[in-house]
Structure 1
Amino acid sequence: MIKETLYSTDSYLREEFKVEGFRFGNTGEDADPAACIIGSMRGNEFQQLFICSLLVKRLKELETSGAIVGDHEILVIPSLNNSSMNVGMRYWVSDNSDINREFPGNPQGEPTSRLAANIFEKVKGYRYGIQFPSFYRKGDFIPHVRMQPTGKESASLANLFGLPYVITSKSRSFDVKTLNYNWQINGTDAFSVYSGDTGHINELTAKQAVSAVLRFLTRMGILKYNCHNGYIASIIEEEDMAEVKTKASGFFRRLVNVGEEVHKEQLLGEILDPYEGDIISEVHSNVDGIVFYAKKDPMILENASAFQIIKKLHE
């Protein structure tokens, strides 16, 4: 393993800002850039950083045992934004910008754009790109692989992670500024692996994410590693999931968890009056299916999405 500084810059009123990477396998000029793995880009992505720490530890052991095949090189970058993590901010400290809305970046631009440009130069040549992002909704969700809609995505490759679901969705305006999108249009097969947690550490789902990555690298001939086969993934269009919304605002009492099978009209949650404690509204399922996402904040607004449900095939 080689640890190196991939990017550094002066930081206002703080020590030098550094992005560090860990290279495994063949790190010479004749290396085959096989896989790049990136962890946290935001200051609240503790689970994503923890996953990468487990992955670095495991890859060190596998490298020592000769399990990295041929001239393959694996690069792990645990964090692109440790400064925000240190001060408890989600986005970039100086201007509150989001690094994952800055790719491919501008070397002469604002701080996050310069960071994105420099990092992208170092990672765009890899055959496979794996990112551990945070989910765009606050709450619990089933671990899954998500692909950006570029026209070059491969659901068959995403299946090889062995997670329960592969999620696809329609293109959104900001997708073109994300790492995953720019990886794909530059020839890298890119995947976003969601472990089910963000702001706190869940060792069980973190280990599941590490196993999924090692399983994928093994199936692509990069590692020699004996692993469980995992799941045969179901490919789901996000737009085909059922949204369950609230009819009132107040304290939110959730009665089901992600992964549970539910039926149409089943009671999923209750909304309580925050002053008097009475149940003022009930949240019922509108389909038969499996709970993919469930909100877990103590309070919820009216007409907010409380659950996403994967519909059963007959729906």
Structure 2
Amino acid sequence: MKSSFRDTFRIQGFRFGSGEKSLAIVGAMRGDEIQQQYICSQLVRHLAQLEAEGRLVPGHEILLIPSANPYSMNIGKRFWPMDNTDINRMFPGYDQGETTQRIAASLFEAIQGYTYGIQFASFYVPGDFIPHVRIIETGYEDVQTAGLFGFPYVCLRKSLPFDTTLLNYNWQIWNTKAYSIYGGQNGQVEGTMPFYIISSILRFMQRVGIVSHFASAHPDYNSQVIHESDLTDVKAPVSGLFYRLKTAREDVRKGELLARIIHPIEGNILEEIYAPDNGVVFFAHNQPLTLQDATLYKIYSLR
């Protein structure tokens, strides 16, 4: 698209292999999804090397789109900068509609018809997740294949009316087996999490017959299927400075101290946050401030 103030808006994709449309991968659709774009950039490098080494199985095409929203990323804004709309809430798009509807329409046209679709998504609350595959229940979901990533969990979520505009939902309706990948946090590229996720993607590709001869030293789990309703939300009773003592992937016991909320001016402890049950921290808020009733933790209870 032409732009009045910046360079022409372009979405750049990379194709590997040729033949059947086997796998489409979509990275950042929001301007703060830095880790998602970083993972895609490293996948570009890995797939280029695998193709050069002849380790892509013939007859399969892979399309990888690292970023669908470079404008927002350039200015550090999560949603589309002109009207604050979310591209991932505009699918399947409308080529005569508003800007984000047109972007979604063009993107969806390019990624339709693939057997598998992977999206590196982000949660509406900033925080850290246990790495997992998330699938919206549409009646077309393929839960068994989701286990081939080797993540600890596959999380199913019942679709709500506003979910019908998500990429995951629309991919499924148009006969693509769609998987949203969550893990780590949006703004961080350091550490081992991105490479664990990359390893899991390549493991999935090997198991569905797109990549050959791939081995990984990263953990491979027999994925446990859970429902989002199995997660217990722990919310902030008051606003204040959020000082967390537990983060994602940590085991907790009922009554164990998870975090403190501190008065931002006087420095005293306003509230202490305790684990509601024995379990594992599935999600942990990671910002230094919290508002009242914000979700601080999601606990997967071990009953």
How far residue 208 of structure 1 moved from its aligned partner, in angstroms, is 1.1
Pick aligned residue for 1:57 from 29, 39, 45: 45
In the alignment, does 2:252 pair up with 1:300? no
How far 1:47 moved relative to its partner?
A: 0.5
Cα displacement (A) at 1:101: 0.7
Q: How does 1:244-255 map to 2 (within 5 A)?
A: 244-255=234-245
Cα-to-partner distance string for 1:66-102 (whole Å, 9 max, x where unaligned): 1111210101011111111112221112222111111
Give the % identical residues: 47
Tell me which residue corresponds to 2:82.
94
Separation in structure 2 between the aligned mates of residue 175 and residue 48 of structure 1, nearest angstrom = 21
Could you say which residue in structure 1 is the equivalent of 2:11? 19
Q: 1:271 & 1:94 partners in 2: Cα distance? A: 35
Query: TM-score w.r.t. structure 1 length?
Result: 0.92
Contact persistence 1:266–1:285 (CA under 8 A): yes
1:148-297 equivalence runs, <5 A: 148-228=136-216, 230-297=220-287
Does the 8 Å CA contact 1:37/1:76 hold for their aligned counterparts?
yes
Total equivalences in the alignment:
301
CA distance in 1, matches of 2:190, 2:36: 10
Alignment check: 8 A CA contact 1:214 1:225 kept: no
What SS does the corresponding residue of 1:148 show, helix, strand or coil?
A: strand
Q: 2:115 aligns with which of 120, 127, 130?
A: 127
Normalised TM-score (structure 2): 0.96
Q: Which runs of 5+ in 1 are unaligned?
A: 1-8
**1:195 match: secondary structure:** strand
> Could you list the per-position Cα deviations for residues 98-124 of structure 1 after superposition, in whole angstroms to 9, with x for gaps in the alignment?
111111111111111111112211211
Name stretches of at least 5 consecutive residues in structure 2 with no aligned partner: none
Following TM superposition, by how much is the alpha carbon of 1:203 offset from its aligned partner in structure 2, in angstroms?
4.2
- Provide the rounded CA distance (Å) in 2 between the counterparts of 1:120 and 1:166: 25
Q: Is the 8 A contact 1:128 1:190 kept in 2?
A: yes
Q: Distance in 2 between matches of 1:172 and 1:200?
A: 30
Offset, 1:302? 2.9
Distance 1:247 1:114 in 2: 41
